[in-house]
């Protein structure tokens, strides 16, 4: 009898795994069908690959399909390799992350006196990001050098005192790449190749080039009025250590297994790499969530490509989604694939059913909801629709699926409203990207 039960349990487990993989495929295909995703996706648990597949075209003009061996630009997923390179140099006694930057750059500006390597690694240096400068776009196509990149921002005033606040800075990671080159006497590309890629047999990874012939490299696209169009040109000397690497989903699985399997860094260095300082940010990686939902991850975005690499240590779950069509789909897909792998219910955008609520009910939700002093979500009623607008973003409609729960169609996000004992709307929770963010209601806004 025991053997019979065991057999039934094993069969049930196999069916569940098959169902999970089928649901993963549905998740990705929903974005493919909506023309929001082309690329490759991989899900692996404890070294066992559950899903590894390419979607759409690596090159639309030649109709060449994406595969698990297609190479994609990583954008800011590059940053974890830069941070790891810094820690490798620390292990070898070449530097300390507590060192001031001026120790290695004799003519560093006085404003950098208190800026340490640690501050660069976790975006708390205060050095402004050169990619936000007004002159960035006109210079994207022009080749440069690390020295010239640093010159773009070295004399700019700090946005805040080092360590006081957090603000994402590509300048900080370009500066880290510059330091790697000064300390080692070799190029950033060579150091990463010889110290990370080659030891882990990541033979399909490297520093991208505009001139070099790179076999199985995807072309990058951006959304256009009638469909995908060729993405704008960026000279790959510009993103440098902040975003210039390329890889495949299979190679990035090797990376995650090597990094978290103790094959790259000493245990104490890995702790440094993955310990957040401010805004859930560690060294080139975001770390948030608890228990099974704790995730160590980073996304990337560069002309024609968006990427997401996530590791869930509680279940040894790796999710890699690399896209060659600009947009937020890779991050959304990665979060949903992780949820499916954990046995959680995922409702896709096209599966949500819209209902109609009375204008009076909608009016009760109108107001300003504060996530932070500098970031708010404003809800307004226009006609018979509830509209939402986040700070610095366009206004878009939200659609009711119950009296308190709404969803967006432009992105995979949901909003849920909450009331106090008196029936007054007190706050909302934004469900997006695997996170639940609370926003407290600050003021009511009358319906138009």
In sequence order, what DSSP letters do the residues of 412-448 get, joined into one string? SEEEEEEE-TTS-EEEEEEEETTEEEEEEEEEE----
H-run or E-run covering 48: strand 48-55
d(CA 159, CA 129): 10
Whether the pLDDT of residue 370 is over 60: the answer is yes
The DSSP call for residue 110 is: G
Whether 45 and 315 have beta carbons less than 8 Å apart is answered as yes
pLDDT at 409: 86
pLDDT tens digits along 403-426: 999 999 888 889 999 999 999 999
Does 180 lie in the same domain as 92?
A: yes
Whether the pLDDT of residue 396 is over 70: the answer is yes
Whether 274 and 267 have beta carbons less than 8 Å apart is answered as no
Q: Which stretch of 267-276, 369-378, 392-401, 429-438 has the lowest confidence by average pLDDT?
A: 429-438
- pTM of structure: 0.87
Domain that holds residue 330: 72-341
CA dihedral 36, 38, 39, 42 (to 10 degrees): 50
The answer as to whether 236 is a domain residue is: yes
Does 120 lie in the same domain as 184?
A: yes
**Residue 400 pLDDT level (bands cut at 50, 70, 90):** very high
pLDDT at 298: 98
d(CA 193, CA 132): 29
Does 377 lie in the same domain as 256?
A: no
Number of domains in the chain: 2
Does 337 lie in the same domain as 363?
A: no
pLDDT tens digits along 148-159: 999 999 999 999
The DSSP call for residue 128 is: P
Does 370 lie in the same domain as 316?
A: no
**Residue 45 structure tokens:** 């648990």
Does 261 lie in the same domain as 387?
A: no
The answer as to whether 347 is a domain residue is: no
The answer as to whether 46 is a domain residue is: no
Whether 413 and 405 have beta carbons less than 8 Å apart is answered as no
Q: Mean per-residue pLDDT for 86-104? A: 98
Assign 388 to helix, strand or coil: strand
Alpha helices in 92-169 (DSSP H): 117-121, 136-139, 146-153
The answer as to whether 97 is a domain residue is: yes
d(CA 302, CA 252): 18
Radius of gyration of the chain (CA): 23
The DSSP call for residue 195 is: I
The answer as to whether 66 is a domain residue is: no
Q: Which stretch of 12-16, 259-263, 329-333, 398-402 has the lowest confidence by average pLDDT?
A: 12-16
Whether the CA torsion 138, 143, 149, 151 is positive or negative: it is negative
Does 267 lie in the same domain as 332?
A: yes
Give the rounded percent of residues in the chain with a pLDDT score beyond 70. 95
Q: How far is CA 30 from CA 27, 85, 266, 309, in A?
A: 5, 38, 41, 20
């Amino acid at each position: 009898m025991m053997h019979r039960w065991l057999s039934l349990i094993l069969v049930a487990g196999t069916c569940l795994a098959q169902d999970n993989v089928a649901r993963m495929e549905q998740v990705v295909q929903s974005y493919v069908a909506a023309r929001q995703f082309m690329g490759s996706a991989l899900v692996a648990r404890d070294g066992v690959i559950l899903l590894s597949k390419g979607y759409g075209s690596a090159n639309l003009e030649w109709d060449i399909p994406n595969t698990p061996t297609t190479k994609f630009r990583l954008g800011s997923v590059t940053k974890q390799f830069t941070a790891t390179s810094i820690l490798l140099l620390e292990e070898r006694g070449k530097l300390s992350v507590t060192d001031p930057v001026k120790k290695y750059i004799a003519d560093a500006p006085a404003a950098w006196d208190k800026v340490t390597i640690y501050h660069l690694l976790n975006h708390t240096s205060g050095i402004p990001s050169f990619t936000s400068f007004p002159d960035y776009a006109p210079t994207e196509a022009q080749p440069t050098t690390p020295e010239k990149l640093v010159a773009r921002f070295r004399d700019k005033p700090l946005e805040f005192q080092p360590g006081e606040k957090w603000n994402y800075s590509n300048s900080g990671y370009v500066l880290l790449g510059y330091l790697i080159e000064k300390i080692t006497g070799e190029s950033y590309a060579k150091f990463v190749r010889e110290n990370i890629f080659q030891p882990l047999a990541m033979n399909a990874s490297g520093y991208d080039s505009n001139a070099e012939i790179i076999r199985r490299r995807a072309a990058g696209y951006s959304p256009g009025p009638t469909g995908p169009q060729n993405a704008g040109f960026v000279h790959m000397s510009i993103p440098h250590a902040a975003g210039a690497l390329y890889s495949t989903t299979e190679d990035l699985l090797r990376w995650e297994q090597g990094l978290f399997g103790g094959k790259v860094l000493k245990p104490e260095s890995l702790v440094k790499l993955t310990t957040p300082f401010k805004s859930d940010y560690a060294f080139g990686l975001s770390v948030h969530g608890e228990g099974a939902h704790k995730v160590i991850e980073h996304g990337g975005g560069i002309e024609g490509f968006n990427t997401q690499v996530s590791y869930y240590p509680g279940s040894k779950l790796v999710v890699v989604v690399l896209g060659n069509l600009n947009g937020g789909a890779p991050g959304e897909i990665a979060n949903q694939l992780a949820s499916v792998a954990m046995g959680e219910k995922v409702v896709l955008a096209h599966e949500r059913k819209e209902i109609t609520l009375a204008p009076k009910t909608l009016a009760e939700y109108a107001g300003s909801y504060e996530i932070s002093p500098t970031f708010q979500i404003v809800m307004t009623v226009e006609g018979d629709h509830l509209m939402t607008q986040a700070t610095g973003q366009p206004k878009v409609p939200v659609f009711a699926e119950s009296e308190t729960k709404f969803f967006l169609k432009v992105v995979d996000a949901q909003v849920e409203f909450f009331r106090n004992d008196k029936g007054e709307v007190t706050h909302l929770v934004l469900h997006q990207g695997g996170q639940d963010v609370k926003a407290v209601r600050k003021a009511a806004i009358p319906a138009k």
